């Protein structure tokens, strides 16, 4: 019973993918949308059912025996436990909402069927990633979501910039994937198994483990997580990935795929718990990423770019929590972030839709009246991400900062500054987009309208979730912590008793957020400042606007040398090699040309040659 | 029979055969007319036949003579086919000069 349910959960999106790929074009747009959405809704329903009926014991399903080399076996197994159920809930739940949204958003697009096919395939791979019972099955999903991300970023492939962005995302992810793969190899050779449950068993039992190799494995796995979850130094693909359609940005590049790195670290928490030095690296990388990305977001003018850097920054905060071993807090922030960031992205999509493709905030403004629902939902989500009491973001971000405060003060300062900046840039975005007067063309102004209900309905649901999402883990009596408790063998995070320190930390965070909002209010609403044109940007702003020139630095220190090496090999090495090969060919050819002359077709000459040859042979034989 | 051989001597037969064979070889090499080339080939064949017969008598063994019958039969067949080919070449090309037959060129 359970096996078939899980198979339905896994294969429903895949069937949707098959349908849309092979029959989608014929079936017509409305059927494509319905099938694509329903297949994910089915998964969501099954997840809800499993969630309601789950007991404490994880459900392990072994589908078939996959690889067997000597004493090393890999099964194609699935593992349903509290962690994968949590992830499944918001992947399929938010996935359903975004599919629903896409029906309206992509309706104009002639390739709507392939869009839904890719989205369904993405959900299938994401589910595989989440419910795989060993590292290899997880890796299948890991690569699959990377593929779908590539396909969807480059969905409008007629634009070369978008293709480049897709390639960049793919290659950056490959670097991380290589790290992940090496990590899998090391783990496999150390413990002779890749199953999560047996790994946990072995690592908790055995005392004399090779610490060095575990540390190397953990570091490699973390590099994989860096690639997928856009952490320094592999984060540059995520902002460029905004080239894809907005529902893709919301689903893949904000709510689900980019959290795969956090899922992986959480899944392998028993490995990371063994090596505190690697945990420190994770915390530092997370803290630095969150601060750097937040500063870049301060000056961006593309509405989606601001949200993209905000995503990188929030992911950094989650890694900060992971580095302190506070896995359940990271998971909590993943969930609330999925709610409000999906809402923000879908809201920005609604704005872009209303303005017929305009993404530059300098050409927006005053949309509050024309798009009241979009405005209201985005306002709630912005308040949530800024960490205003009592919205979802307040609770999760506050927990992370509180943990940081107890472990490492400098990182707490970094996280707090990043949070203040978050409040500032989010409200900069809100004021520039929705307040004051409209700055676009007359024609756009004429066409301004609220998006259809298929777009606003997901927005409303997500806004509600952003508002109330915090109740799943209130400090003091956290339902989420209790739910996830069986996963984590040691209690990594003692419940903070709410003392003076905690209340003052909350107060500091809230005041910081209000401060950020206040500065944005003063600058962009009262003074009505509009960010200057690209050419006029100077000083520090210019550095930030150009993203610290990280892309240019990568270009100079990696891409240029690689290109130079490639042209060296092409121009020198390959030329000489091919000269050798072609020379051999030329010699053979010349031999043939000369040899051909003997065969002149004259019977007399043939006879002569024949007789002489016979005489020579006989002479040789008998003398 | 043995007497005749004794009177003349086996070595003289061998010399005769070698001379005949060489005449054949040179005929094949020098003459341009295809019929003469054919005749030269026949001379070479018959030189060998003669040697067979001579050695057959010398060894008092009939095998050589039997072999010559076969050889002559094959030669007759060969001549029939060869002359037919020559006729058809002449009809097609108007000449049987070996120097002009260059159609074997690939």
Residues A526, A576: one domain?
no
Q: Decide if pLDDT at A587 tops 90.
A: yes
Residue ranges and CATH numbers for the domains of chain B are 2-97 (1.10.287.3510)
What is the distance in angstroms between the Cα of B44 and the nearest Cα belonging to chain A? 12
State which residue of chain B sits closest to A614, comparing Cα positions.
B25
Residues A375, A236: one domain?
no
Q: What mean pLDDT value characterizes chain A?
A: 87
Judged by CB atoms within 8 Å, which residues 604-623 of A form the interface with B?
Answer: 604, 606-608, 611
- Whether B93 and chain A come into contact, CB under 8 Å, resolves to no
Q: Decide if pLDDT at A263 tops 90.
A: yes
Q: Decide if pLDDT at A210 tops 80.
A: no
Q: Flag whether A76 is in a domain.
A: yes
Residues A560, A518: one domain?
no
Q: Flag whether A266 is in a domain.
A: no
Q: CA dihedral in degrees (A189, A190, A194, A197; nearest 10)?
A: 170
Contacts across the A-B interface (CB distance below 8 Å): 31
- What CA–CA distance (Å, rounded) separates A377 from A456? 9
Q: Flag whether A396 is in a domain.
A: yes
Q: Flag whether A202 is in a domain.
A: no
Residues A472, A601: one domain?
no
- What CA–CA distance (Å, rounded) separates A216 from A458? 43
Domain range for A386: 324-545
Q: Flag whether A167 is in a domain.
A: yes
Give the pLDDT band (50/70/90) at residue A18: very high
Report whether B23 contacts B71 (CB < 8 A): no
Q: CA dihedral in degrees (A84, A326, A423, A450; nearest 10)?
A: 10
Residues A142, A51: one domain?
yes
Q: Name, of A61-70, A113-122, A246-255, the range with top average pLDDT.
A: A113-122
Residues A561, A540: one domain?
no
| pLDDT recorded at residue A533 | 73
Q: Decide if pLDDT at A54 tops 90.
A: no
Give the pLDDT band (50/70/90) at residue A491: low
**A237 Cβ partners below 8 Å, 6+ apart?**
A165, A168, A169, A171, A172, A173, A230
Residues A421, A539: one domain?
yes
| pLDDT recorded at residue A99 | 93
| pLDDT recorded at residue A182 | 94
Q: Which of A207-211, A414-418, A447-451, B64-68 has the lowest mean pLDDT?
A: A207-211
- Which residue intervals of A241-359 are DSSP H helices? 246-250, 260-267, 269-274, 276-297, 303-323, 327-354
State how many domains chain A has: 3
Q: How far is CA B62 from CA A125, A394, B2, B54, B69, in A?
A: 92, 122, 13, 11, 11
The whole-number average pLDDT for the span B9-28 is 91
Q: Is B99 in contact with A602 (Cβ distance < 8 A)?
A: yes
| pLDDT recorded at residue B1 | 53
Q: Say which residue, A493 or A87, is predicted with more confidence.
A: A87
Residues A475, A559: one domain?
no
State which residue of chain B sits closest to A615, comparing Cα positions.
B25
- Whether B101 and chain A come into contact, CB under 8 Å, resolves to yes
Here the tokens at position A368 are 């509050």
Pairing assessment for the beta strands A72-80 and A59-69 based on DSSP bridges: antiparallel
pLDDT tens track for A420-441? 999 999 999 998 888 888 887 7
Residues A236, A335: one domain?
no
Report whether A188 contacts A194 (CB < 8 A): yes
| pLDDT recorded at residue A339 | 92
Give pTM, 2 decimals.
0.78
Residues A442, A565: one domain?
no
Give percent helix, percent strand, percent coil of chain A, each to the nearest 5.
80, 5, 20
CB atoms inside a 10 Å sphere around CB A194: 24
Sort out which chain A residues have CB atoms less than 8 A from B99's CB and list them: 602, 604
- What CA–CA distance (Å, rounded) separates A600 from A606? 9
Residues A74, A17: one domain?
yes
Q: Flag whether A185 is in a domain.
A: no
Placement of tokens 């003060």 in the chain: A409
Q: Flag whether A95 is in a domain.
A: yes
ipTM computed for the complex: 0.74
Q: Is B102 in contact with A601 (Cβ distance < 8 A)?
A: yes
- Whether B36 and chain A come into contact, CB under 8 Å, resolves to no
| pLDDT recorded at residue A380 | 92
The whole-number average pLDDT for the span A285-295 is 92
Residues A416, A538: one domain?
yes
């Amino acid at each position: 019973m359970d096996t078939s349910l899980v198979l339905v959960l896994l294969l429903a999106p895949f069937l949707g993918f098959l349908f849309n790929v092979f029959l989608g074009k014929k079936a017509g747009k409305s059927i494509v949308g319905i099938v694509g959405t329903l297949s994910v809704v089915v998964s969501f329903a099954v997840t809800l059912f499993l969630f309601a009926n789950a007991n404490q014991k994880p459900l392990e399903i072994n589908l078939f025996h996959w690889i067997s080399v000597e004493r090393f076996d890999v099964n194609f197994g699935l593992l349903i436990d509290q962690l994968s159920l949590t992830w499944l809930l918001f992947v399929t739940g938010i996935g359903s909402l975004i599919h629903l949204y896409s029906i309206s958003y992509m309706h104009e697009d002639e390739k709507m069927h392939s869009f839904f096919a890719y989205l369904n395939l993405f959900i299938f791979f994401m589910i595989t990633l989440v419910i795989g019972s060993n590292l290899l099955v997880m890796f299948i999903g890991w690569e699959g979501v990377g593929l779908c991300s590539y396909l969807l970023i480059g969905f409008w492939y007629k634009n070369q910039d978008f293709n480049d962005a897709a390639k960049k995302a793919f290659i950056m992810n490959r670097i991380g994937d290589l790290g992940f793969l090496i990590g899998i190899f090391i783990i496999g050779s150390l413990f002779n198994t890749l199953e999560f449950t047996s790994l946990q068993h072995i690592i908790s039992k055995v005392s004399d483990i090779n610490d060095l190799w575990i540390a190397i494995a953990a570091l490699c796995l973390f590099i994989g997580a860096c690639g997928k979850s856009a952490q320094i130094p592999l984060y540059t693909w995520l902002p460029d990935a905004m080239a894809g359609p907005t529902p893709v940005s919301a689903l893949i590049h904000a709510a689900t795929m980019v959290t795969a790195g956090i899922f992986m670290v959480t899944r392998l928490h028993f490995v990371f718990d063994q090596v505190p030095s690697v945990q420190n690296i994770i915390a530092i990388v997370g803290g630095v990423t969150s601060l750097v990305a937040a500063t870049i977001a301060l000056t961006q003018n593309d509405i989606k770019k601001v949200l993209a850097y905000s995503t990188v920054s929030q992911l950094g905060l989650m890694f900060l929590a992971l580095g302190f071993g506070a896995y359940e807090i990271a998971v909590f922030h993943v969930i609330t972030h999925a709610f409000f960031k999906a809402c923000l992205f879908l809201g920005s999509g609604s704005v872009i839709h209303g303005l017929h493709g305009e993404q530059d905030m300098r050409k927006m403004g005053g949309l509050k009246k024309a798009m009241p629902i979009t405005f209201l939902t985005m306002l709630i989500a912005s308040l949530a991400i800024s960490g205003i009491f009592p919205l979802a973001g307040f609770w999760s971000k506050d927990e992370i900062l509180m943990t940081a405060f107890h472990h490492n003060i400098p990182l707490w300062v970094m996280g707090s500054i990043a949070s203040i900046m978050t409040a500032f840039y989010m409200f900069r975005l809100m004021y520039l987009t929705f307040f004051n007067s409209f700055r676009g063309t007359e024609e756009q102004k004429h066409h301004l309208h609220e998006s259809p209900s298929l777009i606003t309905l997901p927005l409303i649901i997500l806004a509600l979730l952003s508002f109330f999402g915090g109740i799943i883990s209130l400090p003091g009596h956290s339902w989420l912590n209790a739910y996830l408790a069986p996963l984590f063998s040691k209690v990594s995070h003692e419940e903070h008793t709410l003392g003076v320190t905690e209340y003052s930390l909350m107060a500091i965070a809230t005041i910081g957020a209000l401060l950020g909002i206040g500065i944005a209010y003063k600058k962009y609403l009262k003074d009505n400042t509009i960010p200057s044109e690209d050419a006029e940007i100077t000083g520090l702003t210019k550095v930030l606007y150009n993203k610290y020139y990280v892309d240019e630095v990568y270009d100079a220190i990696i891409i240029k040398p690689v290109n130079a090496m490639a042209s060296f090999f092409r121009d020198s090495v390959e030329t000489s090699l091919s000269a050798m090969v072609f020379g051999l060919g030329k010699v053979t050819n010349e031999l043939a040309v000369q040899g051909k002359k003997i065969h002149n077709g004259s019977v007399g000459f043939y006879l002569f040659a024949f007789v002489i040859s016979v005489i020579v042979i006989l002479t040789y034989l008998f003398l | 029979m043995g007497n005749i051989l004794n009177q003349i001597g086996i070595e003289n037969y061998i010399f005769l055969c070698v001379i005949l064979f060489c005449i054949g070889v040179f005929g094949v090499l020098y003459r341009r007319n295809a019929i003469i080339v054919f005749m030269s080939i026949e001379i070479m064949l018959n030189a060998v036949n003669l040697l067979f017969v001579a050695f057959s008598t010398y060894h008092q063994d009939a095998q050589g003579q039997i072999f010559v019958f076969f050889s002559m039969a094959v030669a007759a067949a060969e001549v029939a086919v060869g002359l037919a080919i020559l006729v058809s070449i002449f009809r097609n090309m108007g000449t049987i000069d070996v120097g002009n037959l260059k159609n074997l060129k690939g």
